[in-house]
Amino acid sequence: MKNALAQADHAVEALRAERRDDYYPQFHLAPSAGWINDPNGLICINGVYHAFYQHHPYDENWGPMHWGHATSRDLAHWQHQPIALAPGEDDDKGGCFSGCAVDDGGVLTLIYTGHVWLGKAGDDDQVREVQCLATSEDGVHFVKHGPVLTPPDGIQHFRDPKVWREDGEWWMVVGARENGLGQARLYRSADLRDWRFDRLLGGAQAPHQGYMWECPDFFPLGEQHLLLFSPQGLTAQGYRNRNRFQSGYLLGHWRPGHDFTPTQPFCELDAGHDFYAPQTFTAADGRRLLFAWMDMWESPMPSKAHRWAGALTLPRELTLGADGAVRMNPARELTALRREHRTLIPLKLRNQRRPLAEALQELQLTLDLAGSDAERYGVAIGGAARLYVDNQAHRLVLERFSEDPGLCGCRSVALPAGERLSLRLFIDRSSLEVFVNQGEACLTSRIYPADGRRDLSLFAEGGQAQFGDMEGWQLESIWA
């Protein structure tokens, strides 16, 4: 694997020399160059945060999957590391697909899917997928130990292991497809090497519930458990399930040796255009944190012309609200990135547009819903996107604009109850993340301003809007 890793690192360096930074993020994790998708192996071990990710280092398109790697000591500033895993062995020659990381007695251990094309590369009807193990003594260089779990008869699609330790044993949830239906399969082990099937945690009962459940994750939150996964094949229904694929959760009850009992239907986790394959991990102080891939399959990616594609969301903290819904908020460590601060006075607009201070990358504001009768009012980001209240539809809408029709369109959530709406926005060079009412809803979308303008302005159309307290910050780069 050493030669394959050295070649991959060299390829990234060559691409990096050609990279353009018009859209390259300042405070989101992304590869130095090349392609990135799912976050993998998220862990805090020996005082260091590790974020691995699916990576194709040879060009800006999806290809044979490697594991890229970045590290941080504060969850705010990051450093790229050498590529951790490269395909090449008999059981992963088609790619080192998604997986996780665990602390096995102080040893950083990766469990990932070894992917092999049995027919033509790219033919998803002829694949073999097994769960493999790799270890590291220094947290940077890894030794592969081969497969530790193979699929049962009749299952080809069998991937994305997430492992944790509980009740004196190791547990693993794996995404699978059986008879054309997605499922999350649960396994248990005493040593991470020998695994036995425990039960199905959940599965689709009909095609409309997904033909494949990718990237499952299973963890406690509050007094309940969350089965987080990315189902493929859901049908759009009104405002719901508008993306190519979705990510969301089932909330319910579980304890080792028993079935998982959901207490509510599947719920999308983020309502934006670009959010997929979320994976959680625990912070040094025990908080449940999450990264996701901030892109979407089969979506145009203008940054490919700049020799890179893909990024991860900001790290987010998950909590459970009193109403039983998951809350996501930016990790508190991100306040360390704040630099120049602006406080903006409340104002009232009637059929007007008002520029805000330039170069703000984090903005917090409140909207007075009770005191506003405008048909639409909110925030515009250059000519690339608008976030606004639609008073006629009673929804909060994120609308993006582009010369490419594939990057135009709206995503929205119902307006929460109450007289005021709290918004927190993060605007990077090619992305917008919106947190509503301290995490009651989130909308994440890639935006690509052709003219480079990301200046903020407030607007009100078809009436009057009252904007309350506002403050904003410039943010420094995350790259240490």
Catalytically active residues are 38
**Is the Cβ–Cβ distance between 187 and 201 less than 8 Å?**
no
d(CA 475, CA 426): 9
d(CA 233, CA 245): 7
* Residue 137: burial class (beta carbons within 10 Å; 0-12, 13-18, 19+): exposed
- Mind giving me the DSSP string for 74-138? SSSSBEE----B---STTTTTEEEEEEEEEETTEEEEEEEEEEESSSTT-TTSEEEEEEEEEESS
**Is the Cβ–Cβ distance between 272 and 434 less than 8 Å?**
yes
Strand, helix or coil for residue 455:
coil
Closest C-alpha among 245, 253, 180 to residue 215: 245
- Give the CA radius of gyration of the chain: 22
d(CA 45, CA 307): 32
**Is the Cβ–Cβ distance between 345 and 354 less than 8 Å?**
no
* Tokens standing for residue 360: 């703000």
Closest C-alpha among 96, 178, 113, 173 to residue 148: 113
Q: What are phi and psi of 113, to 5 degrees?
A: -90, 120
d(CA 150, CA 161): 12
Q: What are phi and psi of 374, to 5 degrees?
A: -60, 150
Strand, helix or coil for residue 63:
coil
d(CA 80, CA 58): 17
What letter represents residue 151's amino acid? P
| Dihedral (CA of 44, 189, 280, 71) sign | positive
